[in-house]
Amino acid sequence: MRSSLARRGFALKWPRKVFIVPRRRSDESRAFEVRHVAFEGDFSMSDERNKVPDQEELEKELSNYLSKKYGCRIKVVSPMMMAKEKEKEPGKQEPDLKGVDRIKFDMKPEELEEYLDRYVVKQEEAKAVLATKICTHYNRARQRRRKARYKTDESVGRIKNNIILMGPTGVGKTYLVKLVARKLGVPFVKGDATKFSETGYVGGDVEDLIRDLVVEAGDDLELAQYGIVYVDEVDKIASHSRLLGPDVSRAGVQRALLKPMEETEVDLKVPHDPISQIQAIEHYRKTGKREKRTVSTRDILFIVSGAFNGLSDIVKERVSKQGVGFGADIQSRGDEGKYLGRCKAEDLVEYGFESEFIGRLPVMAVLEPLEAEDLYEILENPNNPIVLGKKEDFRCYGIDLRFEEDALRLVARRAHEEKTGARALVSVMEKVLLPFEKKLPSTSISYLVVTRDVVEDPRGQLETMLQHPDDPQRFHLYEERAALEKRRVLDDVTDRKRHQMETYPLVFTPQRIELVVDHHLKAGSPVDSIFEEMILLYNQIRVFESDFYEKHGFKIHFNEEAINEIISRSLDDGITATSICRNISRDYDYGFRLVADKSGQTQFILPKEAVVQPGDYLDELIRGSCSEFPFNPAELSKKY
């Protein structure tokens, strides 16, 4: 084999014809693809010497030969070879992290409730119920897995703690469940009950929710069996007594949900899903065996919710037995909002649900309506997605958005008048800010403070702002709101992250905590993510200092101001601290050697100037060294 031909990719002739084509790789090794293999001569099965090697043996022989021939590591890869699962070597056991073990669930009910308190206003009962029953559900699932090694079956008739949430629209039912799923890291699927129909009829199949869980779990069947299925608008599938004929979209859906909500095996291969059919065909082509992939709903938690309009009237009719005489049970008209909290299974059955369906939802939680003060607290919450979303909208155009307290109170009062809960906040906010969102990106204005006047007359205030874009009074107001918001966020971060700050005192100095807050307010990034990224960036700087010493022989150490500058630049530009250090240190080695030749100095503490203006810093360092040490050590030894 000739090396020149091999390097250019020409066909090489062996006793067996093998056509090899070089393929680009990112590492230093060379890789070749076996495009065609043709064997010459008459081979006999009894002739051991001329036995035809299989694909894997041929790749191994070619790789060894080419590696010895050219003195570098070469691997021959066949694109036609089917990927086979490698057998585990004896003595090496890979960690089996599946299902609930991948979730790493170790949270207590009070911890989860405290997390929900940071995002959701009011709804104390619903937060307590969700936190308690969800924590219990997953802790019990983990405990059962640990007991599985003893091969002891759990008692028959175990009831799953499925949950039903009741409350008017816009009170946070869906938001609560999404927060829980995000915190736990479990697969989560949301479906609308109105899109399903009874099995065999036109419409969605309720078992599709379980198949969607598998997709959310990354095709990990074990993990999908510990997911959460959330069915919204469940009150819309309550049946009507006046309906004639089969009720396939209401009572039929209730019957279809019975088995999944309790325990059943859901087949992943269905006729209306072409992907599952293709996967089954591919598996049969590879193995020659049919595989039945199923998911058990034994540990899948079902949470259903709805507004249940009219249910309070049924409860009121039951509990408000108006009588005559001293023994009559008198009810106040002002207690109508509390009737849902006194709801029983019989009321839901009368509402239109089948008793078997209600029996599989043993846990009930009622969410309260939101008043104007509650809506204002939502807007004042630093984690609320409404204000954060509008700030992100304006930030896309380079405009910093701030809100005054009076403006938020007026928005909350207007939203309460629309009677649609927290959803009305978005509607009112859009009506106020839409003119500014349309016009300001085309101007040089870089900030906007939403005052009470802006809420009352948005178009008039916009015209005034365009006529006087540099109004000093408005800029002073903006600075006041920015400083006030920074202090509030700083206090919140210091309180919530106290443990992390005490654990990493070298990383989270007071100056860097301000960096976290500034970046959070400027870019809108979550505080938790910034904290994690700051630990990573600090470690990258220290690793660079060590690597620089190993490579060049000079010990460098960035002082606190220099580290803060590197971290700030990394957060703003979205690049690693390592990249910044490499960029600013291109001339460090040359400059330090000049200094070392004059003074013998090999250790350098780098200030902020070494990061901001590395060239000027080195020039000043070299000039200072030359003026202090006009002769290098070698010249001094010759002179004296």
Distance from C-alpha of 184 to C-alpha of 54, rounded to nearest angstrom:
48
Point out the least confidently predicted range of 292-301, 316-325, 556-565, 607-616: 316-325
Q: Are residues 537 and 598 in the same domain?
A: yes
Please determine, for residue 13, whether its predicted confidence score (pLDDT) is greater than 90: no
Distance from C-alpha of 451 to C-alpha of 325, rounded to nearest angstrom:
58
Q: Are residues 382 and 360 in the same domain?
A: no
pLDDT score recorded for residue 337: 56
Q: Are residues 203 and 349 in the same domain?
A: yes
Please determine, for residue 137, whether its predicted confidence score (pLDDT) is greater than 70: yes
pLDDT-above-90 percentage for the chain = 39
Please determine, for residue 469, whether its predicted confidence score (pLDDT) is greater than 50: yes
Angle at 431 between CA 429 and CA 436, to 5 degrees: 90
- HSE-CB for 156 with a 13 A CA cutoff: 0
Q: Are 411 and 429 in contact (CB under 8 A)?
A: yes
Q: Which comes out higher in pLDDT, residue 476 or 272?
A: 476
Q: Which comes out higher in pLDDT, residue 169 or 204?
A: 169
pLDDT score recorded for residue 627: 83
Point out the least confidently predicted range of 89-103, 229-243, 535-549, 595-609: 89-103
Q: How many CB atoms lie within 10 A of CB 246?
A: 11
Residue with tokens 């499925």: 162
CATH number of 458's domain:
1.10.8.60
Partner residues linked to 231 by β-bridges: 191, 304
Is residue 86 helix, strand or coil? Answer: coil
Residue 596: inside a domain = yes
Residue with tokens 């530009």: 573
The percent helix, strand, coil of the chain (3-state, each to 5) is 55, 10, 35
Q: Which comes out higher in pLDDT, residue 57 or 581?
A: 581
pLDDT confidence tier of residue 49, bands split at 50, 70 and 90: very low
Burial environment of residue 502 by CB neighbours within 10 A (0 to 12, 13 to 18, 19 or more): exposed
pLDDT score recorded for residue 82: 41
pLDDT confidence tier of residue 397, bands split at 50, 70 and 90: very high
Q: Are residues 352 and 418 in the same domain?
A: no
Q: Are residues 288 and 395 in the same domain?
A: no
pLDDT score recorded for residue 18: 41
Q: Are residues 194 and 299 in the same domain?
A: yes
Among residues 477, 495, 513, which one ends one of the domains?
A: 495
Query: Residues 6 or more apart from 543 whose CB is under 8 A from it?
Result: 578
Q: Are residues 114 and 10 in the same domain?
A: no
In this prediction, residues 472-486 reach a mean pLDDT of 92
In this structure, the chain runs to a length of: 640
pLDDT digits (tens, 9 = 90+) for 567-616: 999 999 989 999 999 999 999 998 999 888 888 889 999 999 999 999 99
Q: Which helix (H) or strand (E) holds 37?
A: strand 30-39
Residue 247: inside a domain = yes
Residue 255: inside a domain = yes
Q: Which of 180, 186, 97, 110 is nearest to 145 (CA)?
A: 97
Q: Are residues 251 and 360 in the same domain?
A: yes
HEC letters along 66-77: HHHHHCCCEEEE
Cα dist from 199 to 245, 254, 255, 356, 430, whole Å? 16, 11, 9, 18, 42
pLDDT digits (tens, 9 = 90+) for 241-267: 554 444 555 777 888 888 889 888 888
DSSP string, 211-239: HHHHHHTTT-HHHHTT-EEEEE-GGGG--
Residue 526: inside a domain = no
Distance from C-alpha of 98 to C-alpha of 143, rounded to nearest angstrom:
15
State the average pLDDT for the chain: 79
Q: How many CB atoms lie within 10 A of CB 559?
A: 13
Residue 500: inside a domain = no
pLDDT score recorded for residue 78: 53
Residue 166 corresponds to which tokens in the numbers above? Answer: 């009741």
In this prediction, residues 167-175 reach a mean pLDDT of 90
Distance from C-alpha of 232 to C-alpha of 116, rounded to nearest angstrom:
20
Residue 504: inside a domain = no
Cα dist from 632 to 55, 596, 604, 629, whole Å? 66, 9, 18, 7
Q: Are residues 353 and 409 in the same domain?
A: no
pLDDT digits (tens, 9 = 90+) for 406-465: 999 999 999 999 989 899 999 999 999 999 999 999 999 999 999 999 999 999 999 999
Please determine, for residue 156, whether its predicted confidence score (pLDDT) is greater than 50: yes
Q: Are residues 454 and 587 in the same domain?
A: no
Q: Are 631 and 639 in contact (CB under 8 A)?
A: yes
> Greatest CA separation found in the chain?
123
Cα dist from 609 to 211, 237, 518, 615, whole Å? 58, 68, 22, 9
In this prediction, residues 391-401 reach a mean pLDDT of 92
Chain-centre distance for alpha carbon 456: 38
Please determine, for residue 134, whether its predicted confidence score (pLDDT) is greater than 80: yes
Query: Residues 6 or more apart from 153 whose CB is under 8 A from it?
Result: none
Point out the least confidently predicted range of 137-141, 172-176, 325-329, 518-522: 325-329
In this prediction, residues 518-538 reach a mean pLDDT of 89
CATH number of 635's domain:
1.10.8
Domain count, the chain: 4
Please determine, for residue 32, whether its predicted confidence score (pLDDT) is greater than 90: no
DSSP string, 245-259: S--TTTHHHHHHHHH
Please determine, for residue 28, whether its predicted confidence score (pLDDT) is greater than 50: no
Q: Are 260 and 298 in contact (CB under 8 A)?
A: no
Beta strand pairing call for 16-23 and 30-39: antiparallel
pLDDT confidence tier of residue 146, bands split at 50, 70 and 90: confident
- Residue 633's identity, in one-letter code, is P
Q: Are residues 286 and 390 in the same domain?
A: no
Distance from C-alpha of 276 to C-alpha of 211, rounded to nearest angstrom:
10
Query: Phi/psi at 36 (nearest 5 deg)?
Result: -155, 135
pLDDT-above-70 percentage for the chain = 74
Among residues 467, 495, 523, which one ends one of the domains?
A: 495
Q: Which of 399, 366, 403, 369 is nearest to 386 (CA)?
A: 403
Angle at 614 between CA 609 and CA 620, to 5 degrees: 75
Please determine, for residue 12, whether its predicted confidence score (pLDDT) is greater than 90: no
HEC letters along 580-618: HHHHHCCCHHHHHHHHHHHHCCCEEEECCHHHHCHHHHH
Residue 328 corresponds to which tokens in the numbers above? Answer: 């009559």
Q: By residue range, what is the domain housing residue 132? A: 100-149+158-318+337-366
Q: Are residues 213 and 108 in the same domain?
A: yes
CATH number of 117's domain:
3.40.50.300
Point out the least confidently predicted range of 83-92, 354-363, 392-401: 83-92
Distance from C-alpha of 204 to C-alpha of 249, rounded to nearest angstrom:
10
pLDDT confidence tier of residue 88, bands split at 50, 70 and 90: very low
Distance from C-alpha of 46 to C-alpha of 41, rounded to nearest angstrom:
15
pLDDT digits (tens, 9 = 90+) for 529-538: 899 999 999 9
Q: Which of 541, 548, 523 is nearest to 611 (CA)?
A: 541
pLDDT score recorded for residue 101: 61
Distance from C-alpha of 227 to C-alpha of 590, rounded to nearest angstrom:
58
Residue 330: inside a domain = no
Q: Which comes out higher in pLDDT, residue 213 or 329?
A: 213
Q: Which of 158, 232, 223 is nearest to 191 (CA)?
A: 232
Q: What is the pTM of this model?
A: 0.73
HEC letters along 293-352: CEEECCCCEEEEEECCCCHHHHHHHHHCCCCCCCCCCCCCHHHHHHCHHHCCHHHHHHHC
Residue 390: inside a domain = yes
Partner residues linked to 304 by β-bridges: 164, 231
Among residues 327, 346, 366, which one ends one of the domains?
A: 366
Distance from C-alpha of 187 to C-alpha of 215, rounded to nearest angstrom:
9
pLDDT score recorded for residue 327: 56
Residue 396 corresponds to which tokens in the numbers above? Answer: 């896309």
Please determine, for residue 210, whether its predicted confidence score (pLDDT) is greater than 80: yes
